[in-house]
Amino acid sequence: MSKAFTRESAGDEDDDDPLGALPPLPAGARNYMTPQGWSSLRAELMTLLDVERPRVVEAVSWAAKNGDRSENGDYIYGKKRLREIDRRIRFLTKRLDIAEVADPSLHHGSDQVFFGATVTYANSRGDERTVTIKGIDESDSLKGEVSWVSPIARALIKAREGDEVQLMTPGGLERLEVLEVSYPAPLNP
């Protein structure tokens, strides 16, 4: 069978994250994002469309003119990279289309936990941790950011400073005390 009529991989779906790093949105849920997260994804999309893709298309076109494509590494790599870019463009476009930008600074001064809050909490052993609740597409656990659909965020949402919440962990039920809730200050006072 000709390679032209075979599918490259079973997981090659339009809405798949090319890196496989982002969880899918819960069914019927909104894709909440901070204004900064939306801007970041939009900037990535525009860079892919305006810079990266045209550069790769040019390289593939050049490589295609060099003869036998089946043994042309530049051509093969370029086509693979082009598929990755196109997949990421489709993913970003879909996620930005359904994004609902929620400005956390609207809650500035509030002691209740909502989307965009930075929350400091302590567990029953007294260990303190600070997390910021962000959108699925923008959270980074290495920076202390958690997705609003994560178990810790769901446990903390709607709690107030001083409240005790329960979090189901693999080790069992854990009690957390909300110590501090903060939001970014509004940009335009």
73-98 pLDDT per residue, tens: 888 898 999 999 999 999 999 999 99
User: At a CB cut-off of 8 Å and minimum separation 6, what does 33 contact?
Assistant: 41, 99, 100, 101, 102, 134, 135, 137, 138
Domains of the chain: 30-101 (1.10.287.180), 104-182 (3.10.50.30)
If you search the block for the tokens 């007294």, which residue do you land on?
126
* Tens digits of residue pLDDT in 166-182: 999 898 999 999 999 99
Residues pairing with 181 in the sheet = 119
The whole-number average pLDDT for the span 113-137 is 94
Identify which has the larger pLDDT, 6 or 128: 128
Q: Is the CB of residue 35 less than 8 Å from the CB of residue 103?
A: yes
Pairing of strands 128-134, 145-147: parallel
